[in-house]
Amino acid sequence: ASYRRITETDETIKAFLTLNEENARREADNLDKQLQEGGERGLLFGLPAGVKDNIVTEGLLTTCASQFLSNYNPIYDATTVSKLKSAQSVTIGKLNMDEFAMGGSNENSSYYPTRNPWNPEYVPGGSSGGSAASVAAGQVYFSLGSDTGGSIRQPAAYCGIVGLKPTYGLVSRFGLVAFASSLDQIGPLTKNVEDSAYVLQAIAGYDEKDSTSANVNIPDYTSALTGDVKGLRIGVPREYLGEGIDPQVKEAVMQALKTFESMGATWEEVSLPHTEYAIATYYLLASSEASSNLARFDGVRYGVRADNPDNLIDLYRKSRSQGFGPEVKRRIMLGTYALSSGYYDAYYLKAQKVRTLIKQDFDNVFNQYDIIIGPTAPTTAFKIGDQVGDPLTMYLNDICTIPVSLAGIPAISVPCGTADGMPIGLQIIGKAFDESTVLRAAHAFE
Ligand code: GLN
């Protein structure tokens, strides 16, 4: 059914980069056989899944939507992919994205842009745009995405589905092609909150192969879905509803708060005073980490090697010039500059300090409130082509998601209405490792 749906819809949506049909059919047959022989059903038994193309899959092309990795066939599975296999879900294929997860519209894919299933003239968001569109179009039951500054939550909002960015360290990054290692997290994109809880259950947990993996107890996330939010204290940051927020998005958030009130929760306006520095901080830190992480792509070890180099340095230069797209080059240059001697203190170190202030803003609010609510993005999806060539405007789309990433805390985007026919996302933010409360609130609301 999944492949039939892909055949019907993906010519327009273009969510997939690679299909895994032969293997998936074989795996599904094996699961059937195991069940008939009296085996137990895994947590995600037989569910068709899509995987973002920056999460490595053994023997299945993993391109990061880059020309550089157009021939990269990994020899191992990411931990999250192994965990999906243990839970008996079936990987249908690899999903389109902005190249190396840098972008917010999928237009930075070096292959083709994915389109929004609600209206193919619009972007699905990004960078996990393929992951969001494939779930919204009913091609897969759920997908995995990655979120560095909003890349699960924003496309989930634009495509009218549920997207969860877990606490940094909850889900293993082993086998996630690194963009900004101190921010990257893998998480589920699903049709509803209950599914999100199930997929999180399957992928969360300590992994010795990831040095930043947190050794914490994993609760039963579905048991948190009680429908009860009585007495829940909600903080609403004034910085997330001010200038630049579409009035229809703001109205939808206010309506959502009324719904929470009617269920017995309370809300008050709060302040996250360093929000205005979040975008600058993020683009310094994320680009710095990216410039370092992407140094491994040299034309020798991974991916495509340029033809006819004059010498070794020329091989690096040609391979990187040909392999990377413009946004990736922009970030590498920005990051290299910020890390260079003489500028390190002024830019990178300063940004690290501001990151701490941003985290403290959240800590202060969470002293008095259980969750924070605001919009996921300031607007709904925009038209394909509308923001191309204007990176600064594109960067501003992440104003509500980036501070959360810098603080390393969990947040979910759930649908909360539409504006001019396009979906709006409500962002629910929680304390570190308190995914249960985030899921409980989201589930009661949806
Ligand atoms: N849009 C942001 C960026 O371009 C976030 C991307 C992400 O979360 N991977 O960096």
Distances (CA, A) of 232 to 286, 361, 367, 392: 34, 20, 13, 37
Give the whole-angstrom CA distance, residue 418 versus residue 157. Answer: 10
Ligand 1 contact via 102 beta carbon (within 6 Å): yes
Cα separation, 441 vs 222, whole angstroms: 12
- 151 carries an active-site annotation: yes
Q: What is the pLDDT along the chain (446 residues), one digit of tens a residue?
A: 999 999 999 999 999 999 999 999 999 999 999 999 999 999 999 999 999 999 999 999 999 999 999 999 999 999 999 999 999 999 999 999 999 999 999 999 999 999 999 999 999 999 999 999 999 999 999 999 999 999 999 999 999 999 999 999 999 999 999 999 999 999 999 999 999 999 999 999 999 999 999 999 999 999 999 999 999 999 999 999 988 899 999 999 999 999 999 999 999 999 999 999 999 999 999 999 999 999 999 999 889 999 999 999 999 999 999 999 999 999 999 999 999 988 989 999 999 999 999 999 999 999 999 999 999 999 999 999 998 878 777 888 899 999 999 999 999 999 999 999 999 999 999 999 999 999 999 999 99
Told to judge if 131 belongs to the known catalytic residues of this protein, a careful annotator would answer: no
Using alpha carbons, select from 205, 223, 199 the residue that is nearest to residue 44. Answer: 199
* Best residue for ligand 1 mutational test, from 64, 97, 102, 177 (most atoms within 8 Å of Cβ): 102
Question: Of residues 151, 196, 405, 413, which has the active-site annotation?
Answer: 151
Question: In ligand 1, which atom is closest to the CA atom of 102?
Answer: 4
The reply to whether ligand 1 has any atom less than 6 angstroms from the CB of 103 is yes
Determine whether the shortest distance from the Cβ of 144 to ligand 1 is under 6 A. no
Q: Cβ(108) to ligand 1 under 6 A?
A: no
Q: Which atom of ligand 1 is nearest to the CA of 331?
A: 10
Q: Atom 10 (ligand 1): residue with closest C-alpha? A: 102
271 is catalytic: no
Q: Which of 80, 311, 59 is nearest to 175 (CA)?
A: 80
Look at the block and give the residue holding tokens 């990269």.
Answer: 72
Residues 307, 210: Cα–Cα separation, whole Å: 35
